[in-house]
Structure 1
Amino acid sequence: MDIAQLYRVFLKHPDVCTDSRKVAKDVIFFALKGVSFDGNKFASKALEGGAAYVVVDDPSVVSDQDDRYILVKDVLKTLQQLAAYHRQQLKLPVLAITGTNGKTTTKELIATVLNRGYNVLATEGNLNNHIGVPLTLLKLRPEHQIAVVEMGASHPGDIKELVDIANPDYGLITNIGKAHLEGFGSIEGVRKTKGELYDYIRKHDGILFVNSDDPTLMEMSEGISRVTYGTDTSATFYAQIIYARPMMLSFRWRQVSMPHDISTHLVGEYNLPNALAAVAIGRFFDVATDGIMEAIAEYTPTNNRSQLTQTDRNTLIVDAYNANPVSMKVALDNFDKIRTDLPKVVILGDMKELGKESLQEHKTILNILVEKSFDKIMLVGKEFGAATENLTSQRQNTLLFESAQDLEEYLEQHPIDQSIILIKGSHSVHLENIASLC
């Protein structure tokens, strides 16, 4: 069965599923394979659960007596090809977003703004990889007017693979920093891979949205049609921080000369480019200024991304979804700037997937901590453990824990009270559980 034929089946059954445990009536089940699982083995179970068809690539599971089995050479490639074919049929504008830090927050802000004028499909959660992007595109319906698609990468070529599927008309890279170095090999590998989005937009005469404060992005986007945003008046959309509140981002933005002030629920000055990108894209697509202002002012971050939480005992800034050297540094710098009479407590978890640079990058973070005047520092993980040779002797207020569970046990016996606490670390460290103890 070729893609055109499969597409006709998809139009009759437009809901797809890749998890046999979540099969619903009339879906098409794609039997994906992974390191520790083989979806082909669950094809019959999916049919029993109500699936209209199952797409498999193992001939041994196909029943000659059942025409609901669709045998293909490679299920994943077929899923990707179907998504690309579907996107091409609908021909609506697609904005692709990638970057080392802030891409999910930026995606959410942009989608929230565009929703004030359009029917928007946006990536849900972190479905931003070689499986998530196709699944997102297959949710497109004729009533949608624009799609905002997040793209993640951990190896060279990842973004090229995703843009070839999504065929974006517009592109945005939030920034380029040290993350997933285990897969990329170097910061140059990160730059080249993220730049695959720019390469695609250049080749297909699309339009970029570029942070003019970032010289790397400005250089990479040279010669491509672009809309700029930043803190310099040379940008198409420019802004400045308003220091009206101690923790939340407030800023004044302008297009030409008219000033507009926004107070957000976002923690930290480092969120300014994310919010300003949403302003620029909203205005580019003619969303009313009042709608843009309201959308950004009302947006509240979720999923442990720079969330400000007030408990009975403490004020928490929970940023435990992910961490890399760049995001860790800006989080610490921002936390240091917060004006408060409360004691400041820092809880940091390991930064994962940094490969051979991990030890040095963790030492760099420790050196930053030595320079700051935080009242208490709690470090979690073996990577920080390997880097703390001299820190604990220099700072009597520093504690090291091998795991989040060890820290949980400590906090149950030694609770923190009347403090402001930053919780930051890679998702796999599981610091999100710490918040309930503070």
Structure 2
Amino acid sequence: MIFNTDIFSQYIDSEIVGVNFPAELTINNVSVDSRSLLNDEHTLFFALVGKNHNGHHYIAELAQKGVRYFVVDQLPIVLHKEAVYFKVSDTLLAFQKAAAFHRASFDLPVIGITGSRGKTVVKEWLNFLLGQDYKVIKSPKSYNSQTGVPLSIFGIKESHSLGIFEVGISLRGEMQRLQPIVQPSIGILTAITDEHNEGFISIEEKIQEKLVLFSSVDVLIAEEGPIIRSLTSDKPLMTWSLYNTDATVYGSLTGDVLSIAYAEQPLFSVQIPFTDVISVKNMMSCISVMLYMQMPIEAIVTGISQLYPVELRLQVTSAINNCTVIDDAYSADFQSLVIALDFLEKHKISKKKTIILSDLFFNGDNEEEYYLSVLQLLKSNNVTRIYGVGECISRFLADCPGVFLYETTDEFLQKISLDEFAEETILVKGSRAFRFDRIVSFFETKTHETVLEVNLNSIQYNLNFYRSKLKVGTKVMAMVKAFGYGSGSLEIAKLLSHENVSYLGVAFADEGIELRKSGVKANIIVMNPEINAFPAMIAYDLEPEIYSIRELKAFLKVARARTCYKYPVHIKLETGMHRHGFTTAELDELIAILRFTNVVEVQSIFSHLSSSDMPEYREFTLDQIELFTKNVNYLSEALNINPIRHILNTSGIYNFASFQMDMVRIGIGLYGVGNDPLEMEQLRNVTTLKTRIMQIKEVENNESIGYGRRYRVEGSRIVATVPIGYADGIPRAWGNNGGYVLINGKKAPIVGAICMDMLMVDATNIGCKEGDEVIIFGEQLPVTIIAEAIQTIPYEILTNISQRVKRIFYQD
């Protein structure tokens, strides 16, 4: 960005203070965060002032680091001789004016999005749908606040041909400040609900305030309705509806097919990936935009069918006393609080929901009203307990029942007892200044520096990759057995339930029971049920795989005693794996038992492919499929049933998609591991095992390292000790087969035998220090490399990661 200094100064109503200021400002980075590593000589820093932070306190430090341009409302006592200061009366207002100044220099179409729900989803989906034809600049994550919108706008460059920005407000008067910044030419009003109505007298006032964003649009796209019609008579309006055929765009939903009628165009149908009401409405907004922009119908149909879930990055970890902690300890404003509370509801493990909240960023006229709105928001989200930390929240919520208040984070940590928390979900949300990361650590059950990070967005992506290979209507069973292939079952099960998979698969009843106790309501199949677990399975609505006559008779006995009627079971057929399942010779006896009972009902019949990942055994796999088809048809006809049929596993989906039948089972592929190099290229890494350097030492020539003196040093070497070993799941064989870790992106060979809790690496040529991060496996060091080197499979490595390793789940 290049700004004329005088014109820029006039636009933001500033006085220029400085000895030698240039005629033009060359700006590469606009910053409001003094800690940003991007702050340099081409940074324009706005010293924003909040209740718990003041950017002016860091100006001298930033000037020493090379920052030269500052927007301030008070000059530092000592002026840096090379710095230029733009003195204004309000730095936030100047920040917003500067963004508007930058926006005005670009003549490109901009889509502005506001509403109560769906802003981020519609933004991300439109970016996906239009990204092939336009160079899109969009809001990062959910940057839709009074500071987030300007930061988003500053990202516009000459190369961009379309902008997509979301805008959120929580109080009256806020949109008036944001409209000049965005200047949308196409407006989208997403769902308006009565949720989060704090700060507004009525729905009408809330809509009217949001409509300020669209004061100069070429078209406003919104759901048809009397309120919208009454409030937008002066605006060019394009409406959509799922109920009113008079709308500009009318959508009729049947199952997962959305039929679209628009103007004089022929009726066309779209296969939609999600059928919940909010998602369908968000898709209608996207379809309307694409129709207005005259996108080809084929592009609309293809694009909408490939849409994906949009999630926000928040971290979830296990905590003391069977609690779960949601870590959002780095920002606190009203809009992000709304997002975090939605996340809390989605990931709660019981009805008990607790929030620990710091003072929130505020820049307005009535701070008391603001905090009362915050309180109302918390109550409307059924938060069980509220802990407030900070001077402002303590002052304004002092007389509110059920709210526990502390002036500082230290006071909270000193006075709180861990015994107060059990079997609940705790949202920890605070601005960086409050150091709520200490509160998160306070609740954690494990403090081991070794962690397994699980990217839930990657699991979503991988699920959708395999779904893209399926026909419309094919069901998906997702395997979460073996502790989610080592990643952690609960959060993954919740995610997959949210993604509407038809079934979850676990190995043993205990795994399914834990999911049920944690609130997972999806259909769960137990793949290896033990007879003594049948009563508990029925109590927790778990569906058994039935693989033998003995097992079937045992289950029928338990089910009859509990007066079960048509309890769902899943029949396993033996087709060549020779592990377990009914053989062809046993089918008649199976039929004889099932034909005259209504205690159970066959939900599915399936088998398992032994070699679907091995091209050399393709004919064997086809023989398995043929035998399965023959036997399942025989059973279905004899029993007069129409069960779900499934035989394809992960590699089967990839290599034998034409045999997907009624359902497929996705296992290791969800976790980013394929059995084919081309398949791997299309998957995203899910898990990253990392730790930190514990100690660094210099080891002299001919000295030995580790047990048994198995490694002798040649020449002087720098050796780093890393706190992870075979008790954490690292195979000892990896240390003897060219094993290595990554430190600062460089290979550090493992030297000496891997110990129970530690391993040592040669860090001679890396240039690292104690505390530096160490990657054991992840995107740059795939687990498949380790598996190949020690002649095992990725499953074994992933499932061997010890329970003592802390799992961190996050979403981008």
- Is the structural similarity TM-score above 0.5? yes
Q: Does 2:118 match 1:102?
A: yes
Structure 1 stretches of 5 or more lacking a match? 245-249, 306-319, 333-344, 363-378, 388-399, 423-432
Residue 311 of structure 2 is aligned to residue 297 of structure 1: no
d(CA) in 1 for partners of 2:84, 2:97: 20
Larger Rg: 2
Alpha carbons 2:350, 2:423 under 8 Å: kept = no
1:404 maps onto 2:426 in alignment: yes
Per the TM alignment, residue 421 of structure 1 is displaced from its structure 2 partner at its CA by: 5.9
Counterpart for residue 268 of structure 2: 260
Aligned to 1:163, which of 179, 183, 202?
A: 179
Secondary structure of 1:116's aligned partner:
coil
Matched with 1:21 is 35
* Matching residue of 1:207: 219
Q: Per-residue displacement from partner, 1:99-148 (whole Å, max 9, x unpaired)?
A: 11111111222222222321111111111111111111111111211211
Residue 269 of structure 1 pairs with residue 277 of structure 2: yes
Kept in 1: contact 2:175–2:212 (CA 8 A): yes
Partner AA of 1:228 in structure 2: T
Query: 1:181, 1:354 within 8 Å by CA — same for their partners in 2?
Result: no
TM-score, with length taken from structure 2: 0.39
- Residue 253 of structure 2 aligns with which residue? 241
Return the match for 1:230 from 241, 244, 253. Answer: 241
Alignment of 1:5-404 (within 5 A): 5=9, 12-24=26-38, 25=40, 26-61=42-77, 63=79, 65-198=81-214, 200=215, 204=216, 206-212=218-224, 214-231=225-242, 232-244=244-256, 250-255=257-262, 256-266=264-274, 268-303=276-311, 353=373, 381-382=384-385, 403-404=425-426
- The answer on whether the counterparts of 1:92 and 1:147 sit within 8 Å (CA) in structure 2 is yes
1:172 and 1:210 in contact (8 A); partners too: yes
Q: Is the Cα contact below 8 Å between 2:196 and 2:377 reproduced in 1?
A: no
| Alpha-carbon shift at residue 21 of structure 1 (Å) | 1.0
Q: CA separation in 1, counterparts of 2:255 and 2:23?
A: 56
CA distance in 2, matches of 1:289, 1:65: 60
Q: Which amino acid in 1 is paired with 2:514? A: P
- In 2 relative to 1, CA 191–134 (structure 1 residues): closer, same or farther, beyond 3 Å? same
Q: Say which structure is richer in helix.
A: 1
- Which amino acid is the alignment partner of residue 251 of structure 2? A
SS of structure 2 residue aligned to 1:142: coil
What is the CA distance between 1:3 and its match in structure 2?
4.6
Cα distance between partner residues in 1 of 2:309 and 2:260: 21
| 3-state SS, counterpart of residue 404 of structure 1 | strand
3-state SS of 1:184 partner? coil
Query: Percent identity of the aligned residues?
Result: 24
Paired AA for residue 404 in structure 1: I
Q: Which residue of 2 aligns with 1:393?
A: none
- Once residues 27 and 515 of structure 2 are traced to their aligned partners in structure 1, the CA distance between those partners, rounded to angstroms, is 53
Q: Hey, what does 1:416 align to over in structure 2?
A: 515
Tell me, yes or no, if the aligned pair for 2:351 and 2:424 is still in contact at 8 Å. Answer: no
Q: Distance in 2 between matches of 1:265 and 1:322?
A: 28
Question: d(CA) in 2 for partners of 1:58 and 1:113?
Answer: 46
Contact 2:59/2:76, CA 8 A, preserved across alignment: no
RMSD: 4.1
1:13-39 CA distances to partner (integer Å, 9 max, x unpaired)? 132111111141332222211110111
Contact 1:133/1:151 (<8 A) preserved: yes
- Paired letter, 1:294: T
Equivalent residue, structure 2, for 1:315: none
Q: Distance in 1 between matches of 2:156 and 2:260?
A: 33
What is the CA deviation profile of residues 343-379 of structure 1, one whole-angstrom value per residue up to 9, with x for unaligned ones?
xx986858995756976x57xxxxxxxxxxxxxxxx7
Q: CA deviation at 1:275?
A: 0.7
Contact 1:264–1:296 (8 Å) recurs in 2: yes
Distance 1:289 1:82, change over 3 A: same
Stretches of structure 2 lacking an aligned partner (at least 5 in a row): 12-21, 314-327, 329-335, 356-371, 387-400, 403-421, 429-442, 446-489, 492-509, 524-806
Supply the distance in 1 between the matched residues of 2:83 and 2:377 (Cα, whole angstroms): 53
- The equivalent residue for 2:571 is none
